[in-house]
Structure formats: structure tokens, C-alpha cells
A and B are shown apart, each in its own frame.
Chain A
Amino acid sequence: MKLKNPKDFWSGVMFMAIGLAFAIVVKVFEYPMGTSSRMGPGYFPFVLGIVMTLLGVAIIIESMATQGEPVSKFAWRPLAFILGAVVIFGLIVKVAGMAASIIVLVLVSAFGGHEFKLKEVLIAGVILAVFSVLVFVYGLKLPFPIWPSFISG
């Protein structure tokens, strides 16, 4: 079967799945429902989850009756390099310090772009690292280590 309105269809599936997941978690983990005058922690999320599931179903049904655009291809390259760079930064910053982590972040994320000029990227990375250390560590006094822990000890 060919989908007539794929964007809406998949949106509907997304809402239905997430709504259902929330409602199921409430039931499986036995969050107390309480009564309507004394609502437990499970009450509101369960109702919301069910409403969202129904809404998802409604969107799916509507998508059968309307025409719409297909979902365009995911741009995996920028997606992977941008988010990858962010994750790496989060994981290494405590050990590697702010300066080095920023240069790594700039380097990796630059691979997500259309052109990659190593010299330009390195210069940008160093400038950003110096600027950030001055502004955030010295200026705003955010508690970041500047240098890798094996240097500063």
C-alpha cells in the first residue's frame, strides 16, 4: 500500500506510539492512579497518554484521506557529525579540559558541512577556545577545567 500523506501518517504513528508508551509505563510500573478527588501520580499522565494515542490514531486516519508530501531523506552526514561532536564534547570535557574539547568539537562538527578546510577550521577552533576560556572561565567564572587533567593534575 502506498501512503498518500506520509508526513502526517508518520506523525500520527509517532504520537500514537509515544502516547501509548506513557500510558503503558503508568500501568506496568503501577504508578498509583488515586481517585478523582485525590489524584495519584499516575492519573494525569495516564489520561494524557490515552488522549495522545487517540489523537495519533485520528491523524493516521486523516492522513489516509488527504494528499501530502513524502518525508524527505534524512541528511545523515550533518546529523551524525553535529550531534556526534556534541556528544564527544560532553563526554571528554571533564578530562580533556575546555580548550582541547572545544577544538575537538569544532573539528568534528566541521565535517558535517559542505566544505572542509583544515587550516580554517583549526584557526576557528583556537580562536573560539581562547575566547570561551576568557569569557566563561575567567569572566563568568563557570567551573570548567581549562587544561587536560594530565597537565593540570
Chain B
Amino acid sequence: MEQLLSNLALGFGVALTLNNLLYCLVGCLLGTLIGVLPGIGPIATIAMLLPATFTLPPESSLIMLAGIYYGAQYGGSTTAILVNLPGESSSVVTALDGYQMARQGRAGVALSVAALGSFFAGCVATFLLAAAAPPLAQIAFKFGPAEYFSLMILGLIAAVVLAHGSVIKAIGMILLGLLLGLVGTDVNSGMARFSFGIPELTDGIGFVAIAMGVFGFAEIIKNLEQGEAREVFTNKVTSLWPTKQDIKDAFPAVLRGTFLGSLLGILPGGGAVLGSFSAYTLEKKIAKDASKFGKGDIRGVAAPESANNAAAQTSFIPLLTLGIPPNPVMALMVGAMIIQGIQPGPQVMTERPQLFWGMIVSMWIGNLMLVILNLPLIGMWIKLLKVPYRLLYPAILVFCCIGVYSLSNSPFDVLMTALFGFIGYVFVKLDCEPAPLLLGFILGPMMEENLRRAMLLSRGDPMTFVTRPLSASLLAISLLLLIIIFLPAIRKKREEAFQEE
């Protein structure tokens, strides 16, 4: 406990410097902005800003990028409630009851419950992160290459189980990501693989190019294809304050949402989206009067909004303790750390305590900023929502192009991004969920490296993965997950669960 307090004090020292407060604010505002705007998410935004963070100190850079992720969770709810459109995919379910509340003239209440619930969840999750990270990192130090390899297998399988859509296609996307991740120079032999004599490819495919192409450009093309249909709920946002009854209804839902979200955020493949969906489903299941849901029930706003914010924050736990990203946004954070010369993993906490604790404390400060800033700023966000998409998407394109070009100041990365924009569009057409691909892409080289080391240590005996107890149990869990998901009964249930989207 004392250790925790002194750690947090160190964190406050870092996070409260004027510079870092400023970057935290910028991250939160940007995050809210892209959260409010439908059609651009945290993945594309973080990818876009990565090159610009190169010149920042590592603390500031990560504080800002983290702010974008959880800020987006706040912003997404505004759009969901006022426009009945999810600004962020994690607020899809918020729109169900939030928009109905807005139609009943209770938009202000919905917005403030979403914001306060998120703040509560953010505080709890930050504390969890601070408390759980050090012991987890201790365990991680005991991991050898065999354990890391098995853990990554577990992570990838869990990502498949929790992703929506076809399981078998998600596995395909992971494999594709792993293979794309191997393009470039092999670290062990120094041999250039799959680069076909193109010098730029010997450094590997840039993950910014993949992320921005698949998540940014393909998304824009898809939106343009579907045409513009957006109606902003223009009625005045009246009273922001919930009634006593509202609080009585919402508070337990916030608690449950926070708990569920925190848990799902830690899981590999989890994150904000999964958190909010599960929280909504849970509320509906345990409510005595489930018929109220979808007609403006405050619990249907409070639970998912708390859950997505909690999950956004706890998903930093596997990244910061094991160095393994549980979702694509965290995969980008790995990229951001590597740009700064930091190898993510358990050693971050011991070698760079200012960075680690500064980032955690900044999350709490960021949440505070968001709740203070957002309620008064709602009017401004509503105005932004009225900007038509035909003006918005060229702006997104401009920032994407500048971001990609400045990666290496050559047209090559821009062309690669365009190529991946096309590939991403093909994925959309074939209903292939791209998130597992990005995860595989980041893990590909790590997996190969650990596999090689493990096999070298065991003198080529693959049994090492099952004779080492930790590794064996990780693999057993993966296998169990795979079996469960292919059982016909569960498979059907899972399809139903995702139908509600």
C-alpha cells in the first residue's frame, strides 16, 4: 500500500507538469472530437498522430495517445444519444436507450449520466491498473520464451472468440496478420524476407500504413457508399441533472458496468467495444422489467458507458505488464513505445517508473478533465455534428496523408496505405473483420522470435510447450476456448449474442 502511494506520488509529479497536463488535455479533446464524429475512430487517429509524437518526450507522447483512446469513449456517447448514431463502435448500444431518452427530452440527463458513469468507471479502472500491474509484472518476469509464445497463442485465440462474425474467418485474418508482420528483415539471420528487392520493404510493412488504410480509408469509402443520412437531434439540451430516481436506477448499473468492463478490458481481444455490449446484455438479463430497455431506460446508458471507459483503461494492463497488446489500439501503443525506443514489457515499470506511473496518473487526471470539460462543451460538439460528411472526409484524408507521408518523407508509405485502403475495402465486402489482422501483425515477429528461442532452449523438442507447467496451462486454456467455440450449441448462442448489435 505504501509502495503504491509513493508510486502514485511519483506519477502525480510527472503528470502534473504543465507540459504533460497540456498533452493530456490535447489528447482528451482530440479523443472526444473523433469520438463525436462518426466515421473516424481512435485507431486511425492514433495512427495518424504517431509520426508527430516522434519529437515529444516519451511520457508526453503516451499520455496524449492514451487520452485519445479513453476520450473517444466519452465522445462516442454524445453522438449516440443526440443523433442515434454511434460516434464510436463502443457506443452502439448506448444509442438504443440514449436516443430514446433524448426524444423524451431527457438528453441532458442521459449525457450527464454517461459522463459521470464514465468518470466513476475511469477512477476505479485507473486504481485497478495501479494496483494490479506490479504483481502481474512480477509474474511476467518468470516467463520464458515458451510461456510468452503460449500466452500469445492464448491472446490470439481469445481475440477470435470475442471478435464478432465468423470464427474461422477471424482465424484467417490473424494468420494473414502474422504473415504480413514477417515481411522485412529477419532479425536472426539478417535476411530480407518477402521484400522482393524493394528497399523500403526490408524494414517491414509499416503498421501505420496498414492501420490507416484498413481502418481509415476503407471506412471512408464504405461511408460514402452508404450515403449520408444523419439527423441531429436539435432540441435544446435542457436539464443536465438526473433526478433522485435516476440516480437510484443508474448507480447499481454503473457499478456492474464498471466491474464487467474492467474485467473484459484485461482479456486479450477485449476492450471497449466488448465491454459495452456485454454490460448492456447483462443489464437486460438481470432487470425485473426488461421491457423498458430500448425505450429510454437510464440503465441502458449508464452500464455500457461505464463499461467501455473501464475497459479502455484496463486494457493497458496486459500491454504495460506483459508487453502484449490485447486489442488493435494497444497494438498501436506498442508502436508508439517502439518509436520512442521503449520495448514494452514488465521491465517498463522498473526501468522507467516515471513513464509508467505518470501515464497511469494522467489517465485519472484526463478523466477528470473530460467530465469537467465535456458537459459545458456539449453545445460545441453538437455544432460539429452538423458539419456534413462531404466536408469532413476530405479533412480526415488530409490529416491521414500528412501523417503517413511524414513517417519517412517518401511517397512509398502513402502508396502502401492506399493499397491497404483497397485491401481493407475488400475485407469489408467479404465480411472479414480487420481487427484480428492488426493484432496478428504486431504479434507476428514477437511470436516467431519466442518460438525460435524456446525451441533453441529445448534443443528442438516441441514438447517444451507442454512440459513447462505455466506454458501448458496457457495452451490448455486456449484449446478449451477453441473447443467451446466450435461446440454447436455455444456457437449458436454466440451468434445470437452478437445479433443484438
Interface residues of A (CB under 8 A from B): 7-8, 10-11, 14-15, 18-19, 22, 25, 31-32, 35-42, 44-45, 48-49, 51-52, 55-56, 58-59, 62, 69, 71-72, 74-75, 78-79, 82-83, 85-87, 89-91, 93-94, 98, 102, 105-106, 109-110, 112-115, 120-121, 124-125, 128, 132, 136, 140-144
**In the bound complex, do residue A11 and residue B390 qualify as a contact, i.e. CB atoms below 8 Å apart?**
no
Q: Please name all residues of chain B whose beta carbon is closer than 8 Å to the beta carbon of A19 when the two chains form the complex.
A: 175, 179
18 contacts between A and B (CB under 8 A): A7-B431, A8-B169, A15-B172, A19-B175, A41-B188, A44-B452, A48-B179, A59-B168, A74-B429, A78-B220, A82-B220, A86-B401, A113-B224, A113-B393, A114-B224, A128-B395, A141-B55, A142-B402
Contacts of B188 in A (CB 8 A): 39, 41
User: Would you give the shortest CB distance from B428 to chain A, in whole angstroms?
Assistant: 9
Verify B175–A37 contact, CB threshold 8 A. Answer: no
Q: How many residues of B contact A (CB 8 A)?
A: 67
**Complex contacts, A79 vs chain B, CB 8 Å:** 221, 422, 425
Cβ of B293 within 8 Å of any chain A Cβ, yes or no, is no
Main secondary structure of the interface of A (DSSP, over half): helix
Which residues from chain B contact A52 at a C-beta distance below 8 Å?
172, 175-176, 179
The chain B residue sitting closest to A51, CB to CB, is B175
* CB–CB B430/A25 < 8 A: no
B414 at the interface (CB under 8 A from A): yes
Residues of B within 8 A of A56 (CB): 172
A50 CB → nearest B CB, Å: 10
Asked if B52 is an interface residue, CB under 8 A from chain A, the answer is yes
Q: Is residue B487 within 8 Å, beta carbon to beta carbon, of the partner chain?
A: no
Q: What is the bound-complex CA distance between A38 and B464, given in angstroms? A: 15
B411 and A83 form a contact (CB under 8 A): no
B189 within 8 A of A: yes
A58 near B168: Cβ-Cβ < 8 Å? yes
Question: Given A31-B191, A41-B188, A75-B225, are A105 and B398 neighbors across the interface (CB < 8 Å)?
Answer: yes
Bound-state CA distance A82–B55 (Å) is: 30
B25 to chain A, nearest CB (A): 16
Q: Is B74 an interface residue, CB under 8 A from the partner?
A: no
The interface-forming segment of B319-327, B333-341, B377-385, B453-461 is B453-461
CA distance A58 to B166 in the complex (A): 13
Cβ-closest 10 pairs across A and B: A90-B414, A37-B460, A75-B225, A78-B224, A90-B411, A41-B186, A36-B460, A52-B175, A15-B172, A106-B394
Other-chain residue from B166, B191, B391, B411 in contact with A120 (beta carbon distance below 8 A): B391
Instruction: With both chains docked as a complex, state the minimum distance between the C-beta of A128 and any C-beta of chain B, in angstroms.
Output: 5
In the complex the two chains form, is A124's CB within 8 Å of B394's CB?
Answer: yes
Q: Are B430 and A32 in contact (CB under 8 A)?
A: no
* Most chain B CB atoms below 10 A, which of A102, A113, A132: A113
A31, A78, A124, A140: the one contacting B55 at CB < 8 Å is: A140
Determine whether the beta carbon of A39 is less than 8 Å from that of B168. Answer: no
Contact across chains for B217 and A86 when beta carbons are under 8 A apart: yes
> Known interface pairs A82-B220, A142-B51. Does A37 touch B397 (Cβ–Cβ under 8 Å)?
no
Interchain CB contact under 8 A, A55 and B175: yes
A3 to chain B, nearest CB (A): 13
B228 within 8 A of A: yes
CB distance from A87 to the nearest CB of B (A): 5
Cα A90 to Cα B395 with chains together (Å): 16
**CA gap between A35 and B458 in the complex, in Å:** 13
Contact, CB under 8 Å: A105 / B401: yes
Q: Do residues A83 and B422 form an inter-chain contact, with CB atoms below 8 A?
A: yes
Q: Mark B400-435, 1 if CB is under 8 A from A, else 0.
A: 111011100101011101100110011001111000
B394 near A87: Cβ-Cβ < 8 Å: no
Task: Kindly report which residue of chain A lies nearest to residue B391, judged by CB atoms.
Answer: A124
- A58's nearest neighbour on chain B, judged by CB, is B168
Task: With CB as the reference atom, state the residue of chain B lying closest to A42.
Answer: B193
Residue contact B224 to A82, C-beta cutoff 8 Å: yes
- Residue of B with least CB distance to A115: B390
Q: Is A109 in contact with B415, judged by CB distance below 8 angstroms? A: no
Q: Contact at B414–A37, with CB atoms within 8 Å?
A: no
Shortest Cβ distance from residue A73 to the other chain B in the assembled complex, whole angstroms: 9
Judge whether B179 and A7 touch: CB under 8 Å.
Answer: no
Cβ–Cβ contact B430 & A93, under 8 A: no
User: Using Cβ atoms and an 8 Å threshold, which residues of chain A touch B406?
Assistant: 136, 142-144
Can you name the residue of chain A whose Cβ is closest to the Cβ of B447? Answer: A44
Chain B min CB distance to A54 (Å): 10
Q: Which of A39, A62, A105 contacts B397 (CB 8 A)?
A: A105
In the complex the two chains form, is B398's CB within 8 Å of A37's CB?
Answer: no
Q: Are A83 and B418 in contact, CB atoms less than 8 angstroms apart?
A: yes
**Are B430's CB and A114's CB within 8 A?**
no
Residues of A contacting B178 in the complex (Cβ-Cβ under 8 angstroms): 48
Contact A87 B414 (CB under 8 A): yes
Known: A36-B462, A87-B415. A132 touches B175 (CB 8 A): no
Provide the residues of chain B in CB contact with A82, threshold 8 Å: 217, 220-221, 224, 393, 397, 421
Q: B397: which A residues are within 8 A, CB to CB?
A: 82, 85-86, 105-106, 109
